[in-house]
Amino acid sequence: MKCIKLFLFIILPLSLLFIGCKSDTQSTTDLVQDTLMSDVDEDIDIPANTIIKVPSPVELYLFMVEAKAPFNKEAMNPIENAKRYFTRASKSINLGIFASDLAYCTVFSRNQETFSYFSTAKGMADEMGLTEGFDEKIAKRINDNINKADSLYNITSSSYEAMTSYLENQKEGNILPFIFSGAWVESVHLAISSIDKFSENSELVQRVAEQRFVLQNILEYFRSIQKTEDMKKLEKGLKDIQICFDKLDNNIDVIITKEQFEEIKTKVEQIRKEFIS
């Protein structure tokens, strides 16, 4: 049995467990979880002791709250889209997307939306046989605490633990690349959607530029596995985004130019559209 040490920050935004108090923002390096051992499918050759450090979308969303970015409900993947996904690949990608949307709602204290997106993620997880962390007991607790943001944090943390344990025990490592990718693309999309006007000095614009390092780690994970055709297609889309980010290496006086930002925005939106279609 192959094993991989994963910092599973973006399997589900239920990783709020690692944030502590929502009023505090932390740097990427501060948001480090204890290592988890995750069993994966025998057909996927992941070297033992590989470590993938992937910061959670929650860290980006917390920064957005501190920066007083507006909450944009229309930018999320509409919950009615959940019925449009039939393949395991598309369901896994959009489970990551809905999970990222759930984190977005929770961090912005949008309690009703939190329940709606939890219910949507629960439905998709049920269809995929990933019921742990999304059972009726958890759903009832969320409903009973819908107006208590702190309680929602604690409840979703428990869901995270149950979900990751289930993935380990059921050897569902083959869906991780899709969940990783969906959650990351959605977080960058939501951050970009909150920027009305480009400014090279905007901290949020600069934080978007920093997402290139998260993408590098995800692609490093792809390089460590034996890929299916669906994974190869997914990896190509992410590499197309990376090409846009790589142009930032040529900058001298600025982190990112307006033209580079617009190119990244266009490519991220293109890939996301393919994900949610």
Averages of pLDDT over runs of 10 residues in the chain (277 residues) are 31 34 34 29 40 63 91 96 94 91 88 87 83 58 61 58 55 72 95 95 95 92 86 95 97 96 98 96
Q: Residue 177: its pLDDT value, please?
A: 81
The kind and range of the H/E element at 7 are: strand 3-7
Residue 178: closest CA among 85, 83, 88, 59: 88
Number of H helices, E strands in the chain: 9, 3
Residue 206: how many other CB atoms lie within 10 Å: 14
Q: Residue 141: its pLDDT value, please?
A: 65
Residue 152: how many other CB atoms lie within 10 Å: 23
Both tokens of residue 148?
């208590």
Q: Residue 222: its pLDDT value, please?
A: 87
Q: Residue 202: its pLDDT value, please?
A: 95
Angle at the Cα of 226 from the Cα atoms of 240 and 247, rounded to 5 degrees:
20
pTM: 0.76
Q: Residue 165: its pLDDT value, please?
A: 55
Residue 78: how many other CB atoms lie within 10 Å: 12
DSSP string, 24-76: ----GGG--PPPEEEE--TTS---TT-EEE---HHHHHHHHHHTTPPP-GGGS
Q: How far apart are CA 60 and CA 58, in angstroms?
A: 5
User: In the chain, where are the structural domains located?
Assistant: 3-191
Q: Residue 213: its pLDDT value, please?
A: 93
Q: Are 81 and 276 in contact (CB under 8 A)?
A: yes
Q: Residue 143: its pLDDT value, please?
A: 62
Q: Residue 180: its pLDDT value, please?
A: 82
